[in-house]
Amino acid sequence: MPSFIQKYFSVMLPLLIIIPLFLGGAVKTDSDIEVPLDKQIGQMLMVGFKGFEVADTSHVIRDIRDYHTGGIILFDYDMPTRTPYRNIESPEQVRRLISDLQNLSEVPLFMAVDQEGGRVARLKTDRGFASHVSAEYLGNLNNSDSTRYYAANMAVQLNDLGFNVNFAPVVDLNTNPENPVIGQLDRSFSANAGLVTEHAGIFLEEFTTKNILGVLKHFPGHGSAWNDSHVGMADVTETWEEIELEPYRNLVQMDSPFAVMTAHVFNENLDPEVPATLSRIVQTGLLREQIGFDGVLFSDDMQMDAIRSYYGLEMAVEQAILAGVDVLVFANNSVYDPDIVPRVTGIIKNLIDEGVLSEERIRESYNRIMAAKDAWKVNE
Could you list the residue range(s) of the whole structural domain that residue 251 is in?
A: 35-376
Query: pLDDT-based confidence at 378, cuts 50/70/90?
Result: low
Tell me whether residue 180 is in a domain. Answer: yes
Tell me whether residue 167 is in a domain. Answer: yes
pLDDT greater than 80 at residue 32? no
For residues 13 and 130, the model is more confident at 130
Average pLDDT of the residues in 290-310: 93
Best CA proximity match to 202, nearest among 155, 270, 136: 155
pLDDT greater than 90 at residue 198? yes
Whichever domain contains 99, its CATH number is 3.20.20.300
Best CA proximity match to 338, nearest among 94, 117, 51, 26: 51
Can you spell out the DSSP letters for 4-34? --EE-----SSS-----EEGGGPPP-TTT-P
Q: What percent of the chain has pLDDT over 70?
A: 88
Contact 256, 201 (CB under 8 A): yes
Tell me whether residue 308 is in a domain. Answer: yes
Q: pLDDT (tens digit, 9 = 90+) per residue, 114-123?
A: 999 999 999 9
The residues with which 234 forms a beta bridge, in sequence order, are: 265
In three-state secondary structure terms, 288 is helix
Q: pLDDT (tens digit, 9 = 90+) per residue, 302-319?
A: 999 878 888 989 999 999
Contact 327, 367 (CB under 8 A): no
Tell me whether residue 215 is in a domain. Answer: yes
241: left (phi over 0), alpha (psi -120 to 50) or beta: beta
> Which is it for strands 265-266 and 234-235: parallel, antiparallel or unpaired?
parallel
pLDDT greater than 80 at residue 233? no
Tell me whether residue 136 is in a domain. Answer: yes
Which residues touch 305 (CB under 8 Å, ≥6 apart)? 229, 230, 231, 232, 334
Structural domain count of the chain: 1
Q: In a 10 Å sphere around its CB, with 0-12 CB exposed, 13-18 middle and 19+ buried, how is residue 145 labelled?
A: exposed
- pLDDT number for residue 310: 84
Distance CA 340, CA 21 (A): 37
pLDDT greater than 50 at residue 27? no
Tell me whether residue 1 is in a domain. Answer: no
Q: pLDDT (tens digit, 9 = 90+) per residue, 55-85?
A: 887 899 999 999 999 999 999 999 999 999 9
pLDDT greater than 70 at residue 6? no
Tell me whether residue 219 is in a domain. Answer: yes
If you ran DSSP here, which 8-state letter would residue 78 be given? Answer: B
Output the average pLDDT for the chain: 90
- pLDDT number for residue 93: 98
Output the pTM of the full model.
0.89
Tell me whether residue 83 is in a domain. Answer: yes
Query: pLDDT-based confidence at 234, cuts 50/70/90?
Result: confident
- pLDDT number for residue 377: 61
